[in-house]
Structures are given as C-alpha cells and as structure tokens.
Amino acid sequence: MNDNRFSDNKAWFLVLPATLLVAFASLIPFMAVVNYSLQIVFSMENHAFIGWEAFREALTNDEFRGAFFRQVIYTAIVLGIEVPLGIGVALTMPRTGRAVGPVLVVLALPLLVPWNVVGLIWQIFARGDIGLFGAFVNNWLHLDYNYSTGSLSAWFTVVIMSVWHWTSLVALLCYAGLCAIPGAFYQAARIDGASRWAVFRYIELPKLRGVLTIAILLRFVYSFKVYAEPLTVTGGGPGDSTTFMTEMLANTAIGQFEYGKAAAYGLLYFLIILLISYVFYLVLTRVGTSQGSE
C-alpha cells in the first residue's frame, strides 16, 4: 500500500510564498554581513579587503572571549533556574475548574511585556532608594545591594529579571504537555499505588520531553541573544561585568564604527548559537528516545 500522505497534502503550497519571501529577505542582509566581515570599513564608500584577519582577531580578542564567557554563564544560570521552576509551576497549576482561566492569564502577563519595558520596570524596582525590591534587600535583608556599582548585584538583577520574565514560557509549555497526558495513565498509577515522585518520573517527565525540548531550545536562543533587558538596567556595567555578546557587537559596530570587525563577530556569534542549538537538540532528543524505550 503506497503512502500518499505527502502527495495528498497540498497545504504546504500555502506557506511556500511566505517561506521564499522570508528566505530572500534574510539572505540579502546575511550576504552583506559576510561581505563586510572580509573587509575593513573606513567609510561607506571606502573599504579594503583584509580576508580572514577579523576572524583571527576575534578568536584572540579578550573582549570577544570575555563577552562570550559571560554569555555562557548567564545562559547556564537562567536555564538552570527557569526550566526546573517552570516544571514545578506547571505541576501545581489546576487542570480543571474555574481557576484555570485566571491562572493562565496571570501566568502569561510577564510574557506580554516588551523587553525594553521589562528593563525599565526592573531599573526602578531594583533601585535601593525608591525601588521596592532594592529597599527590601537593603533594609530588610541588610545586604549591600546596588546594581549600578556592584558586579554581583548587577548579575543578580539581570538573572532575577530574566527568571521573572521568562519562567512563564516554560511553565505554559509544560502545562500544555501535562494536559495532553491521558487520564488512564494516572488511573493505572493509582491502582498500582505509585508515589507522586514515581508518577512524575515515569509518566509525566517522559511525556514532557517534546515540550521540554522546545522550551529549552527557545530559552537558550532567547537568553543567548539577550540585549534590551540588561542594557536598560545596567548598561553593561559596572565596568563590563554584564556586557554580553549582543551589546559587545552593538558597541563595536555603532560605538566604535568598526563594521568589518562587528560583522566577523556577528558571524561567529551566529555559528556558535547554531552549533550549540544543534547539540542541545541532539542531546535532548536522544535522552527522550532512551526514556521512551525504557
């Protein structure tokens, strides 16, 4: 019996024009970046070809390596907090009853706030003199907290800001995955006398591997290219302690007017994100496959 599902499904023709348009619109700026990365740009009319020199400089540049190291640490911290916290929030959310709608609305509210507005909110909220959060940490916890002068305070602020803004995304995705689990699985677990941990370990977690893969990949990409939020709050400071890759690229291109160097940095940045995302995808899908076969 022949499988004619692909030939019978003509819906992909509807998205083909949009796909071609997006691909074409993305290809032109990408080729411009590749062109600039091989040149030193004195002005928009005066260029000089230098080959791979900008790439070699990027790999030995302390500024690039420092920004990349801070980016990796930031991404690892926020993923390590947001993914378990999002799963925990999803497990406590009601799945039936009148409370479902209000809980989902409240949980989705942080995701509706634009990134730069989130930075403005936390810029005021975390101030030690007029911000509720800053005053609580300084006056009630008696800690020396000032994100404009202390590197540790700045890091804590940008991390807790990301957790507040993006944990809802992980929670909503996990909640959708939990709601898709058939009730027969829970009934069988109750009959067998399974503990709550056993239900989570052998029923819920394996069924969540698909949405968790999407959630981790989305949060990795978003956190690895974070820009507006920490820039608005700390401006990359104090010093360069919260200067991540995106801000370093913007400073190189706009602040220093080194378009060729910034283009080379941007291509390396793109390749790093692409490579790590692919590794994440392979690891998560293999883990999910091995769990499903147990």
pLDDT digits (tens, 9 = 90+) for 22-78: 888 878 888 888 888 888 877 767 777 777 888 888 788 888 888 889 999 999 999
Instruction: Summarize pLDDT for 206-225 with one digit per residue, the tens.
Output: 888 888 888 988 898 889 88
Structural domains in the chain, CATH included, are 61-293 (1.10.3720.10)
Residue 79 has pLDDT above 90, yes or no: yes
The answer to whether the Cα torsion of 8, 11, 17, 21 is positive or negative is negative
277-284 average pLDDT score: 78
Query: Cα dist. 242→45, 81, 152, 159, 272 in Å?
Result: 35, 18, 10, 10, 19
Mean pLDDT of 163-191: 92
More confident residue, 239 or 285: 239
The answer to whether residue 4 scores a pLDDT higher than 60 is no
> Of 233, 237, 232, which Cα lies nearest the Cα of 133?
233
User: Phi and psi of 238, rounded to 5°?
Assistant: -65, 140
Please report, for residues 148, 202, 294, the alpha-carbon distance to residue 197 in angstroms, rounded to integers and kept in the order given.
Answer: 43, 9, 17
Dihedral sign computed on CA atoms, order 73, 78, 81, 84: negative
Q: Which amino acid is at 93?
A: M
**Mean pLDDT value of segment 88-111:** 91
Segment 170-189 shows an average pLDDT of 92
Which is more confidently placed, 158 or 139?
158
Average pLDDT over residues 116-139: 88
Mean pLDDT of 239-256: 87
pTM of the model: 0.84
The CA angle 260-263-267, to the nearest 5 degrees, is 145
